[in-house]
Structure formats: C-alpha cells, structure tokens
Amino acid sequence: MLAGGKTNGKNQLCHFICCRELSHLTRSMTATKPHGKWDKGPAVEANRAIAPEELKVEFPSIDLPIRPPYPPMEARPVDTIPAGDNWIYEPKWDGFRCLAFRRDNEVLLQSKSGQPLGRYFPEMVEALQQLPHKQFVMDGEIVIVDGGKLSFDDLLMRIHPAESRIRKLSRDTPASYLVFDLLVDEKARELTERPLSERKKQLQQFFKGLRNRSIRLSPMTHDLKEAQRWMLELSGSGFDGVVAKRLDMPYTSGERTAMMKIKDIRSADCVVGGFRYASKGGGIGSLLLGLYDYDGKLNHVGFTSSFNIEMRAKLKPIVEKLKDGSGFTGSAPGGPSRWSTERTGEWEPLQPKLVCEVQYDHFSGGRFRHGTKFLRWRPDKDPKLCTYDQLELRGERRSLKELGLTA
C-alpha cells in the first residue's frame, strides 16, 4: 500500500516479501548460531545488573553530519494500533536499540542511552565495515536469536568486562542488526529533516543489492491487518509488539511525537531507588521503584517482589553495594504503620544507578496500584530517562468530561 492508500503490483510484491521476510527472519538468523542452549540462570544475576554509567566511555571523533551521542527518536506508548494511510508499521524487536555510525573504516555503535556498544558487539562492527558504503548513520535494533526466539538474556550476557568472554560469545551467539531508518546516507547527506516516507525510500536504495546475513532491513507494512496479525501470532517468538510511525514526520531526535509503540503487556523501565529486607532469612524482600518527574526528582511509584529464594540471595550483593545513596528525592516510601511491622516498614535508600523493567497491570494516582513483576535489568537505559512519559496515554488518564461528568 502506498502512502496515499493505493496499491500496485510492485508494492503488493514488496508487501509479500516483507511479510515472508518477517515470518522467516528468526529461522535465518538462527542458522548462523550453533545448536545448544546456554544456561543463563535467573534474570537477576549480578553480571547483568550493571549501572548504565559504568558503560560510559567517550566516543572518538567521527567526521559525519551527526555524531554520537545522538538521542534516538522515542516512541509513545498507546493501547491500540493507530489506523490511517499516513502510518507505517514495524515489529517492535526485543533487543538493544542502536545507532550505527560509519566513516571510512571507523565504526561506532551507540546505545539508546548514548553509550558506546561497539566493544560488546565486535561482530557487528566487523559486519558494518564490510558494507560497500563508506559513510552512513543508521538506526536499528541489535538482536540475538536462540532456538527460533529473540533472546534478550543473550544480549545482557554481552555486557561483560572481559574482552575474551565477549569475543567467545560473539562467535557462539552472533548478533544481527535490523535497520529501520537512515539518518545520513552514503553521500554524507543528513536526512533527519526529511519525512519518513522519503527516508524509507533512501533506506531501500541503500540496501539494494546488499547480501549480509548480519545486517538487514527490518520488515515493515502499510497494512493495519498485517500489523494486527503480528501482535497475535508473533508474541511467542519474543517480539515485543508493534511500532507505528508517521510517514509525514521528520526524525524527531529525543522526542515521542512521530512514533508510537503497542505492546502485548504493560511494562515500564524504573530506577531502583531502595529496597526492603525480607522479614525472615535476611535476604532481599522487595525492590522499591522510582520514576523521575519534570523537576528531576525521583518519586517512589511502587515495588517488585516476584523473586524466589535463589533470586533473593543473588539480589543481596547487587543492591547492598549501592546502599546509603540519595534514594528517592521526591515522594518516598512510607515507614512503619499499623498495617506493617517495624521490619517490613523500614527501607534502605540506594544510589539511583540500577534500572529494571517491570510488568504492571494498572498505574494511577502516581503509582502502580499493585505489586509489579520483575522482568529484567536494563543496563542500556539511562536512569534519567525513566520518566512518567513512558506511562502516558495508556488508557488510564480519562478526564471527567470524557466520562460525562462536569463540574
């Protein structure tokens, strides 16, 4: 389907190829990975609980119109997939967002939070150096496929201090780079002010004739029904939902105005601002979650305690090394009350360095209404980016007027 809603034979063929590529993508990427499973263990392992600031390294200079760190375009969460001829739909990959910069033989990889990623994915740097184009800036997602499914755990395993370990993992569990936007083309022309419809055409031309198993175009469709099918049929493969983008918008760096995300589950990235010890055994009872407001204050918004005994033991050294921090600088957890014992009411403030993703069912009144489910650590996410913006427009904010009530 064209931007204006019309179709022709060529575009129907492109649409067919796009859908076929999506359905076979995980199989083709799995083909590059040796058989066998990794014993990854619990998702709270210490080697994955890395504060994003520990990844900070200065980027070397690179002669391009856009240089790292460059804030990528952000997505606004919504409940339903928007419809209309002015939208294009893409899979929401469960991976590491990555901007790739190349000038001659210099390749730089930047995470969503503006940190270097090249050290952790040397096979991606090598693959980008092998492209015939000598200069460009691309936006995409780094993913790893394990057993036909996307594996975020395998990505987290890469964030490791030992280069020898990283090199081994890059051979045993190679990553792929799925590209969905072109910000600077092979002639060093900046494209960020051009509409997405034009950038997509430039991206298709950029990839014309390329044969690289590690770097490929991310599938897309103009067909709303196809996007809805992705939501229904591909969630079991580790896909994280659907992204909808405005075809008439420029690349809105650091903003949530041109792109929306629709997920199967409601999740949020939160800062761990404190914790409580378990009432028995001395382990960790719960992690206290926070989000930053517009004044830059970290507010307590809830907790997560979905850990088994083994996980609680692993959590203890992770959080205790960050004790005696500033904790919550805005609203803080309450102390003991008649509903809680002195032990369960006490909490320990932490340095606000750890970010985790949690699943929740309802957010209102400035907090999660129930306990949340711990999903994973997010070392790729800057704590300062954990704001209320990611929770807006999720069907929870309805004015009294919309409900038929007026003053």
pLDDT (tens digit, 0 to 9) for every residue of the chain, 407 residues total? 333 333 333 333 333 334 444 445 555 554 444 433 333 444 555 456 767 666 667 899 999 999 999 999 999 989 899 999 999 999 999 899 999 999 999 999 999 989 999 999 999 999 999 999 999 999 999 999 887 788 888 999 999 989 999 999 999 999 999 999 999 999 999 999 999 999 999 999 999 988 888 999 999 999 999 999 888 777 667 777 899 999 999 999 999 999 999 987 788 999 999 999 988 777 899 999 999 999 999 999 999 998 888 888 889 999 999 998 999 999 999 754 333 443 446 899 999 999 999 998 778 778 887 889 999 999 888 999 999 988 754 433 333 333 333 33
Class of domain 267-391: mainly beta
Burial (CB count within 10 angstroms: exposed 0-12, middle 13-18, buried 19+), residue 366: middle
Q: Give the whole-angstrom CA distance, residue 203 versus residue 207.
A: 6
Q: Give the whole-angstrom CA distance, residue 269 versus residue 378.
A: 8
Bridge partners (DSSP) of residue 290 are 271, 300
pTM for this predicted structure: 0.68
Ordered by start, the domain boundaries in the chain are: 9-31+62-262, 267-391
Q: List, in order, residues 6 or more apart from 302 with CB less than 8 Å away.
A: 270, 288, 289, 358, 360, 367, 368, 371, 372
What is the 8-class DSSP label of residue 77?
A: E
Q: How many CA atoms lie within 13 A of 124 on its CB side?
A: 33
Which residues are the active-site residues?
92
Q: How many CB atoms lie within 10 A of CB 285?
A: 20
Select 9-31+62-262's CATH number: 3.30.470.30, 3.40.1360.10, 3.30.310.50, 2.40.30.170.
3.30.470.30
